[in-house]
Structure 1
Amino acid sequence: MKQVYVADGTRLAYERTGGGGGAPVALLDGISCDGFIWRDLRPALERDHPVLHMHYRGHGRSGLPRDPEACTIPHLAGDLAALLRRERLGPAVLIGHSMGVQVALETAWRHPEAVRALVLVCGSHGRVLDTFQHTDLGRRVLPALARVAGQHRDAVARVVRATLPTALTYSLAVLGEVKADLVSQADLMPYLEHFARMPLDLFLRTLTDASERESWAWLPRLAVPTLVIAGEDDGFTPALVSRELAGRIPGAELELVPGVSHTAPIERPDAIETAIRDFLRA
């Protein structure tokens, strides 16, 4: 992977792959992810498009910011814009999954010169914990979780590292969200292993920002082609949220993929790829 230091001194790791004559593409992960969700889609895109994939600050092979608070959605959007300028890839098609949808939207708003089009997969316009599993329980309990993690940092980190990358966690994921017939334990393990290695305090700060940040007011002013892709059975970002998002952005298209959850790009990569290719050809 390439590495570069951005303006505030944070070291970012990223890859530029692919080629061909298609529009440049930037892949934007969800929180605590370092690319596992693009396992099948990325090679397909690389055949026809230059592809940029960065590890968010504090994720994967990227470094921690000097300022521990500098891990918000606007920081991630600024990092993306800086890398697109460095690689001379803008304007690019931003394909975001989960929290990557918020990063894509923030980039389109703050750095419009960097964005050619948006593909928003299983993500929200903001306040993500208000609708998580069709309830606002996540938003209400997050402050308490953050306090406990702050007071018992080392102990909580040990528990997370020991329990996340296990068969038990996969079983719980299947009970709560993941489709066992479409996503195996081996499919999910790279995500769980990466999550277990992440600094817990950075994860909680970024999640807190994602849970409080809202783009609803300025979505009608976005002026780029947009495709919103929703999973019919997505509990993390319910399909209703995707419908609202598509309805708020002028001219946005909505693609509802039946029978898939929040990990739709792993569960039905063929459907996601077809939807994206049809959108880019239009």
Structure 2
Amino acid sequence: MPLHYRLDGPVQGEPLVLAPSLGTSTRLWDAQVPALARTFRVLRFDLPGHGDSPAPPVGTMDDLAALVLEAAGAEGMDTFHFAGVSIGGAIGATLAARHPGRLRSLAMICSSARFGEPESWHDRARLVRAEGTAPLLEATARRWFAGPPHQALLDDLAAADPAGYAACCDALAGYDLRADLPKIAVPTLVVAGREDPATPPAHARELADGIRDATLVELPGAAHLAPADQPERVTQALLAHLPALPGMRVRREVLGDAHVDRAVARTTPFTRDFQDLITRYAWGEIWTRPGLDRRTRSCITLTALVAHGHLEELAMHVRAALRNGLTPDEIGEVLLQSAIYCGVPAANAAFAVAQRVLTEENPS
């Protein structure tokens, strides 16, 4: 039987699949979806026997991966970005290793290449089949949260179907992707919670060391359910990672990774919409148009910044102009032209800024 899933975001958006942790439901991602769904077509699903999904007979991580492919395929998502927590991250890693053409990128949050000894998972499966999930609640709350417990997520665990939960335990018992990590060839974000007792940072470092195009982020104040413990930090990590955000690639190419990384790190809930606006429209809509090359766009941008006296932005775009292929002499010509049409005082200030930047870029 198919998985239950929810869809958010524009139909034309880049497809993004969000996978939950064992014992939770689609609402694990409630804090992240509003920001992600502004750009992406987000599909989030419930594991078998969790939330509104039935409990089909699955026993391996490959079975779970196949159910995800079925759900994505039903929505026309032949390829998609993927982010998952714990077992959700393991499903994503399995897809990346076994179905290399399907994933565009991967994010593994509080996850692992192997979740301990198989027998411990078989023991948990036997307990849940016999007594349900109630005996797990107290210990799970301590593993899941570094801060105050989120009762709604604990309610998800209490309501999980024993057969479906136990089947996921069996899948975790048989999961060991350590030898296959080098097969993962998509850009990968690995997020660790520094206070996570279930998959401590050492697990994340093993993933980052084994996956050749991986970035590791460790979050303070986060236990096993980092999206709930540190929602804003997880959201920003995902937005910085996902290559499909319109304009982000061009923004990085023109301004440089260091500048963009600083801008992303400074993003707050108050400034997030503005950052999204300039990335999507300035860099995704204007700088990507085919009518002008980047050299010409740099010339125009420098002139506009001189005209309005935006000297801090001018310094950034002098560096961008060098990256786009303008020489120092050509930048000087643009500023001379600006002196005639924007005024000598404006050009005088602009020359001072440009000289400082050029000296910093080429001290010799």
TM-score (norm 1): 0.78
Partner of 1:274: 236
Classify 1:179/1:111 alpha carbon distance in 2 versus 1 (closer, same or farther; 3 Å). Answer: same
Q: Deviation digits for residues 130-164 of structure 1, max 9, x if unmatched?
A: 4xxxxxxxx554444544555xx3xx23xx45x66
SS of corresponding position for 2:33? helix
Do the aligned partners of 2:126 and 2:166 also contact (CA within 8 Å) in 1? no
Classify 1:90/1:60 alpha carbon distance in 2 versus 1 (closer, same or farther; 3 Å). Answer: same
SS of corresponding position for 1:113? coil
Partner of 1:87: 75
Distance 2:176 2:93 in 1: 10
Partner of 2:160: 198
SS of corresponding position for 2:5? strand
Partner of 1:218: 180
SS of corresponding position for 1:243? helix
99-108 or 268-277, larger mean C-alpha shift? 268-277
Partner of 1:49: 40
Candidates 6, 10, 21, aligned match of 1:30: 21
Do the aligned partners of 1:18 and 1:46 also contact (CA within 8 Å) in 2? yes
SS of corresponding position for 2:190? strand
Structure 2: give runs of 5+ residues left out of the alignment: 243-247, 250-364
RMSD (CA atoms): 2.3
233-242 or 50-59, larger mean C-alpha shift? 50-59
Do the aligned partners of 2:143 and 2:223 also contact (CA within 8 Å) in 1? no
SS of corresponding position for 2:4? strand
1:268 maps to amino acid: Q
Partner of 2:216: 254
Structure 1: give runs of 5+ residues left out of the alignment: 1-9, 131-138
Alignment of 1:237 with 2:199, yes or no, is yes
Partner of 1:77: 65
Deviation at 1:250, TM superposition (A): 0.8
Deviation at 1:73, TM superposition (A): 1.4
Deviation at 1:112, TM superposition (A): 2.4
Deviation at 1:17, TM superposition (A): 1.2
Q: Deviation digits for residues 212-231 of structure 1, max 9, x if unmatched?
A: 31111111122111111111
Distance 1:206 1:212 in 2: 10
Deviation at 1:266, TM superposition (A): 1.3
Classify 1:225/1:39 alpha carbon distance in 2 versus 1 (closer, same or farther; 3 Å). Answer: same
Classify 1:108/1:197 alpha carbon distance in 2 versus 1 (closer, same or farther; 3 Å). Answer: same
Distance 2:146 2:170 in 1: 27
Classify 1:208/1:44 alpha carbon distance in 2 versus 1 (closer, same or farther; 3 Å). Answer: same
SS of corresponding position for 1:209? helix
SS of corresponding position for 1:119? strand
Distance 1:88 1:129 in 2: 36
SS of corresponding position for 2:173? helix
Partner of 1:16: 7
Instruction: Write 1 or 2 for the structure with the bigger share of strand.
Output: 1
Distance 1:88 1:146 in 2: 34
| Greater relative contact order (Cα < 8 A, sep 6+) | 1
SS of corresponding position for 2:197? coil
Equivalences, count: 244
Q: Deviation digits for residues 29-76 of structure 1, max 9, x if unmatched?
A: 1112112321201111111110001222222112222xx3x2431111
SS of corresponding position for 1:244? helix
Classify 1:52/1:177 alpha carbon distance in 2 versus 1 (closer, same or farther; 3 Å). Answer: closer
Do the aligned partners of 1:71 and 1:202 also contact (CA within 8 Å) in 2? no
Do the aligned partners of 2:113 and 2:177 also contact (CA within 8 Å) in 1? yes
Do the aligned partners of 1:24 and 1:90 also contact (CA within 8 Å) in 2? no
2:145 maps to amino acid: V
Do the aligned partners of 2:49 and 2:164 also contact (CA within 8 Å) in 1? yes
SS of corresponding position for 1:53? strand
Instruction: Write 1 or 2 for the structure with the bigger share of helix.
Output: 2
Do the aligned partners of 1:81 and 1:111 also contact (CA within 8 Å) in 2? no
Classify 1:200/1:223 alpha carbon distance in 2 versus 1 (closer, same or farther; 3 Å). Answer: same
Candidates 112, 116, 131, aligned match of 1:129: 116
Distance 2:122 2:80 in 1: 36
Classify 1:221/1:142 alpha carbon distance in 2 versus 1 (closer, same or farther; 3 Å). Answer: closer
Candidates 66, 88, 107, aligned match of 2:95: 107
